[in-house]
């Protein structure tokens, strides 16, 4: 068994998967849910319900506006009490629909049984339409609308379907739990995706620090045609889309390009599971698995949470915020963002709530760059972080563009490896935003 | 001896020949430049701040010389005195413009606006605003990382260590506008300096609803429209829960200042108010 990986850069943080053995528990909805209209990359959805309306679980409450956008469905049954601005975990106010939970009444056409439906009845076009209707977005973190990825643009050809099960981010275990507990559904999900884009073989990339998952996937693989399990080296950011493509296919996505430019389509494990639920069970994306973890939490949790539940409730289930907590992070420690508002609701792409110990959560005092070039060796995108930081500091964004600041995947390897504690990513992220803005204005 | 004479002759004739060539080449490629450009550039302050919208003082001088109508051009640093001098030199007329000054429209001091979290990232407002809403409950207010201080070429803006808010030095500020451009929250505005430096402005940019704004900051404008009602000159407009005083209409009567329940309206450089004797 050959272990694959990407070539340049990467780091080896300790994986801390302390919640790996906690089985997925369902959180019953209660109280008030706040569902954002923009939980994805692209245009925000437009609400189709009004204040005072009664809604059921799975009912469409906001419609996608444009191709790169996603439908939003009610995750609970109850009354719409408000459509107003709500602060997300970063304190940024976004439009959200507030629903007061009353009972748990589902739409009739959603199959809620535990039966596994193997037979795929829909055609390729119907699958893509179903995925779009169900409001599916990439659950790996970026929340890119899934149907856009499945619609291969004319002139391009999909050759590889890669399922991203690397879960290289420390602490996160939601994908791992899905692989362990819903293996069969995942396999069917992969078959559906294969049918939708018309490729004969799908590759599931799993990091080797999850031997049980690899074993489980391998044991079930024989029942399905055209599924390859690709063991990947444990290295961060192995689950970065471009890194994963490089590892599995040895092809490099060109600067500014999309995976489809090299014939690859990547979907996350969480998304694949949702595709199964949407296509076979007619269930839109209304819940996702959220890991609630931290070194001092009494019980580690993997919770199946309805979209829009307040995070404070999840923390309550996990036994409250311990005294030793320094910061609350939405997502993993590498790419997640520290929440300035821990009362924010969860979103479709919320993969974890991490409570970092106070001792681990502070940054060191920055000192001048010593030109050790560790950031250059660590960058998986072959960029020069020290240079980009200096350009960004001086607001030389045109120069940043020449040095490909927009190719940064914000993995944080540069800042992690910097012995001088320089907040490299902070500056590069600024350049990236400005460069992308410049590029948009030029069009 | 012969060698010396020969050398001198050859060198001097070469010199003459090259001088003749150079003369004709210089005539051929002569670029005429208005001598007034340099003269006007001498008059300008020479700060090269870019406040006029041109690349530097020389570029601005060029614009002054080339444009017939210079009423739209202004050197904010020199103000009307420099503009008049330059216009006089060129035989043109400069528009009369009131001197401006930068005002920081945020009163969210540490007391009024308690910090809710700790920002440890790069010390830059631009970085902070791309990361999240800020380290206080107010997502509109000053981030206090001092991008405006860095941008100011005149050393006219500094962070007050007590309030952690930027303050403008009235003597030094030239209204070049570089702080206005650099502020990611659009807090700094150029306003009329006013007679005797007296001016009134709404020191808040919070567009949240009254209750929300008040909860996050004690000095926030809550859009209660009391100031609008009391203003006799229609100078105050309220848009999305935020009052704005039009400084072309404001007559500095100070009625709105006393009316504001949160003290979001600021008056500067006024003498203290006389105690009003109430007739009973």
Question: What is the tens place of the pLDDT at every residue in A344-385?
Answer: 999 999 999 999 999 888 998 999 999 999 999 999 999 999
Chain A residue with Cα closest to B138 = A91
Nearest by CB to residue A90, choosing from B126, B133, B208, is: B133
Question: What is the ipTM for the molecules in this complex?
Answer: 0.86
The stretch A165-191 carries a mean pLDDT of 93
Residue A340 to residue B139, Cβ atoms within 8 A: no
B133 vs A340: CB contact, 8 Å cut-off?
A: yes
End-to-end CA distance of chain B: 118
The distance of A379 to chain B (nearest Cα, Å) reads: 19
Where are chain B's structural domains? 35-90, 100-268
Phi, psi of A286 (to 5 degrees): -125, -10
| Residue B211, min C-alpha distance to chain A (Å) | 14
Distance from CA of A32 to the nearest CA of B (A): 19
Mean pLDDT by 10 residues, chain B (280 residues): 93 97 93 87 87 88 87 84 88 82 91 88 91 89 92 91 91 89 93 88 91 90 92 91 91 90 90 60
Nearest residue to B208 via CA among B226, B228, B223, B227: B223
Q: B142 near B106, Cβ under 8 Å?
A: yes
Instruction: Test A90 with B127 for CB contact under 8 angstroms.
Output: no
Cβ–Cβ below 8 Å for A426 and B131? yes
Mean pLDDT, to the nearest integer, of A382-396? 93
CA distance A254 to A240: 15
B121/A363 touch (CB, cutoff 8 Å), yes or no: yes
Name the residue ranges covered by the structural domains of chain A.
Answer: 1-26+109-361, 374-442
Q: What is the pLDDT of residue B125?
A: 93
Instruction: Name the CATH superfamily for A1-26+109-361.
Output: NADH-ubiquinone oxidoreductase 51kDa subunit (3.40.50.11540)
From chain B, pick out residues whose CB is under 8 angstroms from the CB of A391: none
From the list B116, B122, B130, the residue facing A340 with the nearest CB is B116
Q: What is the pLDDT of residue A173?
A: 93
Q: If phi over 0 gives left and psi between -120 and 50 gives alpha, with beta otherwise, what is residue A167?
A: left
Instruction: State whether CATH 1.10.15 applies to domain B35-90.
Output: yes
Interface test with A, best of B113, B122, B206 (most A CBs within 10 A): B122
- Please report, for residues A15, A403, B236, the alpha-carbon distance to residue B187 in angstroms, rounded to integers and kept in the order given: 43, 32, 18
Among chain B residues, the shortest Cα distance to A336 is held by B131
Task: Record the pTM.
Answer: 0.86
pLDDT tens for A195-244 read 999 999 999 999 999 999 999 999 988 888 889 999 999 999 999 999 99
Residue range A9-32: average pLDDT? 91
How close A345 gets to chain B, by Cα (Å)?
A: 16
Contact B131 A340 (CB under 8 A): no
* B122 interaction partners in chain A (CB closer than 8 Å): 423, 426-427
Helix ranges (H only) for A28-164 are: 124-133, 146-150
- The answer to whether the Cβ–Cβ distance between B132 and A92 falls below 8 Å is yes
CA distance A348 to chain B (A): 19
Confidence of residue A1 (pLDDT cuts 50, 70, 90): low
How many C-alpha atoms does B227 have within 13 Å on its Cβ side? 31
Rounded (5°) CA angle A194-A198-A199: 65
Q: Do the Cβ atoms of A337 and B120 come within 8 Å?
A: no
Q: Is the pLDDT of residue A419 over 50?
A: yes
Neighboring chain A residues of B124 at a CB cutoff of 8 Å: 393, 426-427, 430
Class of domain B100-268: alpha beta
Using the beta-carbon criterion (under 8 Å), do A92 and B120 form an inter-chain contact? no
CB under 8 Å, gap of 24 or more: what pairs does A323-328 form?
A324/A296, A324/A357, A324/A358, A324/A359, A325/A294, A325/A296, A325/A355, A325/A356, A325/A357, A325/A358, A326/A356, A326/A357, A326/A358, A326/A359, A326/A360, A326/A361, A326/A362, A327/A355, A327/A356, A327/A361, A328/A353, A328/A354, A328/A355, A328/A356
Burial (CB < 10 A; 0-12, 13-18, 19+), residue A81, is middle
- Residue A12: pLDDT band (50, 70, 90) is very high
Show which residues on chain B lie within 8 Å of chain A, measured between beta carbons: 116-117, 120-122, 124, 126-127, 130-135, 137, 139, 208
Tell me which chain A residues have a C-beta less than 8 angstroms from the C-beta of B117.
338, 340
**Alpha-carbon distances, residue B3 vs A423, B7, B17, B121 (angstroms):** 72, 6, 21, 77
Say what the pLDDT of residue A76 is.
94
A25 pLDDT exceeds 70? yes
> In this complex, do B139 and A93 lie within 8 Å of one another by their Cβ atoms?
yes
Rounded average pLDDT over A129-157: 90
Predicted pLDDT at B279: 45
| Contact (CB<8Å) B121/A426 | yes
pLDDT tens digits, A286-321 = 999 999 999 988 889 999 999 999 999 999 888 888
């Amino acid at each position: 068994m050959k272990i694959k990986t990407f070539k340049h850069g990467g780091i080896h943080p300790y994986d801390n998967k302390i919640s790996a053995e906690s089985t997925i528990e369902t959180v019953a909805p209660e109280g008030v849910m706040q569902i954002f209209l923009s939980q994805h990359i692209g245009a925000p959805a437009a609400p189709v319900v009004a204040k005072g309306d009664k809604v059921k679980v799975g009912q469409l409450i906001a419609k996608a506006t444009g191709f790169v956008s996603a439908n939003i469905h009610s995750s609970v049954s109850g009354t719409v009490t408000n459509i107003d601005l709500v602060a997300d975990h970063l304190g940024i106010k976004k439009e959200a629909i507030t629903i007061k939970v009353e009972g748990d009444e589902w739409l009739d056409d959603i199959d809620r049984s535990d039966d596994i439906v193997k037979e795929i009845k829909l055609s390729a076009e119907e699958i893509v339409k179903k995925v779009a209707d169900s409001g599916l977005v990439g659950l790996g973190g970026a929340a890119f609308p899934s149907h856009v990825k499945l619609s291969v643009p004319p002139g391009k050809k999909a050759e590889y379907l890669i399922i991203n099960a690397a879960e290289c981010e420390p602490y996160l275990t939601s994908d791992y739990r899905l692989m362990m507990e819903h293996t069969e559904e995942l396999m069917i999900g992969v078959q559906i995706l294969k049918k939708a884009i018309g490729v004969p073989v799908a590759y599931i990339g799993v990091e080797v620090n999850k031997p049980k998952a690899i074993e489980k996937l391998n044991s079930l693989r024989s029942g399905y045609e055209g599924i390859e399990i690709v063991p990947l080296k444990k290295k961060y950011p192995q689950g970065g889309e471009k890194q994963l493509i490089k590892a599995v296919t040895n092809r490099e996505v060109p600067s500014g390009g999309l995976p489809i430019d090299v014939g690859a389509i990547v979907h996350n494990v969480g998304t694949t599971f949702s595709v199964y639920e949407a296509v076979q069970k007619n269930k839109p994306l209304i819940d996702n698995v959220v890991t609630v973890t931290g070194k001092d939490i009494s019980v580690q949790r993997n919770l199946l949470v309805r979209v829009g539940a307040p995070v404070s409730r999840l923390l309550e289930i996990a036994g409250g915020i311990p005294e030793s907590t320094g910061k609350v992070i939405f997502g993993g420690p590498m790419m997640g963002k520290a929440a300035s508002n821990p009362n924010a609701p969860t979103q479709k792409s919320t993969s974890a709530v991490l409570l970092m110990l106070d001792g681990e959560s502070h940054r060191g005092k920055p000192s001048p760059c010593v030109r050790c070039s560790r950031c250059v060796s660590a960058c998986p995108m072959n960029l020069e972080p020290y240079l980009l930081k200096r350009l960004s500091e001086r607001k030389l964004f045109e120069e940043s563009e020449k040095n490909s600041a927009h190719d940064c995947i914000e993995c944080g390897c540069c800042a992690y490896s910097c012995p001088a504690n320089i907040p490299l990513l902070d500056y590069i992220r600024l350049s990236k935003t400005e460069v992308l803005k410049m590029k948009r204005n030029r069009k | 001896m012969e060698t010396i004479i020969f050398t001198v002759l050859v060198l001097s004739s070469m010199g003459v020949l090259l001088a003749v060539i150079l003369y004709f080449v210089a005539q051929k490629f002569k670029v005429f430049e208005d001598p007034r450009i340099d003269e006007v550039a001498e008059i300008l302050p020479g700060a090269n701040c870019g406040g006029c919208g041109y690349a530097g003082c020389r570029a601005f001088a060029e614009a002054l010389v080339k444009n017939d109508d210079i009423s739209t051009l202004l050197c904010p640093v020199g103000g009307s005195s420099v503009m008049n001098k330059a216009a006089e030199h060129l035989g043109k007329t400069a528009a009369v413009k009131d001197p401006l000054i930068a005002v920081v429209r945020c009163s969210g001091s540490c007391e009024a606006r308690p910090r809710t979290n700790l920002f440890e990232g790069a010390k830059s407002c631009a970085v902070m605003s791309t990361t999240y809403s800020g380290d206080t409950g107010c997502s509109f207010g000053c981030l206090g990382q001092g991008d405006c201080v860095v941008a100011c070429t005149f050393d006219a803006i500094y962070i007050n260590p007590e309030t952690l808010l930027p303050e403008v030095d009235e003597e030094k500020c030239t209204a070049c506008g570089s702080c206005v451009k650099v502020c990611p929250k659009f807090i700094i505005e150029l306003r009329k300096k006013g007679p005797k430096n007296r001016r009134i402005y709404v020191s808040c940019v919070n567009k949240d609803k009254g209750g929300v704004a008040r909860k996050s900051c004690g000095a926030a404008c809550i859009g209660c429209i009391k100031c609008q009602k009391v203003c006799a000159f229609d100078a105050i407009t309220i848009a999305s829960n935020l009052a704005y005083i039009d400084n072309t209409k404001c007559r500095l009567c100070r009625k709105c200042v006393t009316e504001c329940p949160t003290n979001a309206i600021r008056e500067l450089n006024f003498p203290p108010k006389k105690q009003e004797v109430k007739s009973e």
